[in-house]
Structure 1
């Protein structure tokens, strides 16, 4: 595991690079440029190995995975302001600079996709494409209550991660699976709560900026993920050039592991 340092606030960002080709080989050639994979809320870069993305992409392209701040092995500031989107975008840029990647394909799931929309707005010169898996250009008030359960941020702040998991199971009516439980217990509850607080305040990327972007875009959402499917159709209306792939039967949690997700992204990249 390597680390990069965000020059704006000194937060350490953990990352790994995979693949036989060097990351900086043919940096502006879409066929050989690196793919950077960015995970969702409360997860880590480990999902991309667990769901087969590193194995599927790395034989032909360099692959970079990273832990966003507050997640995995990266720094875990406890102040909500430390999770401003411009800082999270700068985390990704710091990793790209550390590995010498001038142009990349960005693939983000959920939070990672939202970072991708902001990265495309702030640094379009660093992107050859971006793929949004269950993502949206903005978060919004109450989004985590809808994803997890009402009062989830307060549960993190008062009961820590065990209290959060207990309340989630009580609300859902079934146990949290072992893999998800392990991923959440590895997180810092105060950092995750701080990120959620700031995320709900973030205005996101305005529609006009999304519509005006020239960065090639792929939209992927599950048919059983209504909020993100609506968001994908909204972005599709702004960007008619962007392919939209609907994953049959997939919930939000299913999206990165759905059997059609990786092939959809691979086909999109191969067509560029």
Structure 2
């Protein structure tokens, strides 16, 4: 993997670049406690790499990227700086960008901060709302305290107990690969994020697709709000999936993502 350096704080962000060098660039940003490995594991890489140059970063605090344990290191402006550093390091002026969950907030913030670097925007299971209490709602009440005090296994067990069905083995393995202290610091800072103002969303002029699982009860209203607020945004609700299972349903996700990308500007 290559490493891009955020010039603001020196954080190193690991990323892979795969696919034809002369193809349009598509940056994929993963969700909380995961890594860029999901894009291979869930089949996105195989489907997309023939037509796109894929940029696959491990977001800070995840995968092979640096994992600071100071919560202030996870401010969203620094995360946006990481994505810009990846684009710069890869020599990409403009890219299609797609993110899920934390990745969705990251690419949405990137589009607001640097719209000239974004060809099109795909936001999956995302939210522009303030994030206070978001992880308690997404996982279970007191989840960050459990992670800090008792570690990842206790966190995963408690999460399974609060779900309709247990956390699958692949997701468990991905979560176990994290540094508990760094992940807790990321969670703490994320809960302080104020969100993105509707005025900033309404000013976007990039082609946008917002998708969400129909059983993702917290993110369905947030995703609908995004689609209403961003001019011309398309909305796709994927039936039968919750927040954890939507991104793994690559066939269903790609059924809406690939036509959108094909119709988006290529220059």
What TM-score results when the alignment is normalised by the length of structure 1? 0.93
User: 2:11 matched to 1:7?
Assistant: no
Q: Secondary structure at the match of 2:123?
A: strand
Q: Give the Å deviation of 1:173.
A: 7.7
Q: Give the Å deviation of 1:160.
A: 1.8
Relative to 1, partners in 2 of residues 1:239 and 1:171: Cα closer, same or farther, differing over 3 Å?
A: closer
User: 2:176 matched to 1:185?
Assistant: yes
Q: Give the Å deviation of 1:174.
A: 5.9
Q: Give the Å deviation of 1:33.
A: 1.7
User: 2:212 matched to 1:210?
Assistant: no
Q: Secondary structure at the match of 1:190?
A: helix
Give the unaligned 5+ runs of structure 2: none
Q: Secondary structure at the match of 2:212?
A: strand
In structure 2, distance between residues paired with 1:257 and 1:8: 34
In structure 2, distance between residues paired with 1:146 and 1:91: 27
In structure 1, distance between residues paired with 2:217 and 2:160: 22
In structure 1, distance between residues paired with 2:130 and 2:175: 20
User: 2:140 matched to 1:142?
Assistant: no
Q: Give the Å deviation of 1:136.
A: 1.4
Aligned to 1:268: 260
Aligned to 2:232: 241
User: 2:109 matched to 1:81?
Assistant: no
In structure 2, distance between residues paired with 1:271 and 1:170: 42
183-192 or 251-260, larger mean C-alpha shift: 251-260
Q: Give the Å deviation of 1:51.
A: 1.0
Q: Give the Å deviation of 1:167.
A: 2.6
User: 2:89 matched to 1:98?
Assistant: yes
In structure 2, distance between residues paired with 1:211 and 1:65: 28
User: 2:110 matched to 1:119?
Assistant: yes
Q: Secondary structure at the match of 1:13?
A: strand
Q: Is the 8 A contact 1:114 1:138 kept in 2?
A: no
Q: Give the Å deviation of 1:7.
A: 0.9
In structure 1, distance between residues paired with 2:25 and 2:215: 31
Deviation per CA, 1:60-102: give whole Å up to 9, x if none. Answer: 1111111001111110000110000000011111111111011
Equivalent residue in structure 1 for 2:149, among 158, 163, 171: 158
Q: Give the Å deviation of 1:170.
A: 3.9
What TM-score results when the alignment is normalised by the length of structure 2? 0.95
In structure 2, distance between residues paired with 1:2 and 1:173: 39
Relative to 1, partners in 2 of residues 1:153 and 1:51: Cα closer, same or farther, differing over 3 Å?
A: same
Q: Is the 8 A contact 1:157 1:189 kept in 2?
A: yes
Aligned to 2:101: 110
Aligned to 1:68: 59
Q: Give the Å deviation of 1:260.
A: 1.7
Q: Give the Å deviation of 1:204.
A: 1.5
In structure 2, distance between residues paired with 1:174 and 1:270: 35
In structure 2, distance between residues paired with 1:50 and 1:184: 14
Give the unaligned 5+ runs of structure 1: 26-31
Q: Is the 8 A contact 1:136 1:232 kept in 2?
A: yes
Relative to 1, partners in 2 of residues 1:212 and 1:166: Cα closer, same or farther, differing over 3 Å?
A: same
Q: Give the Å deviation of 1:138.
A: 3.3
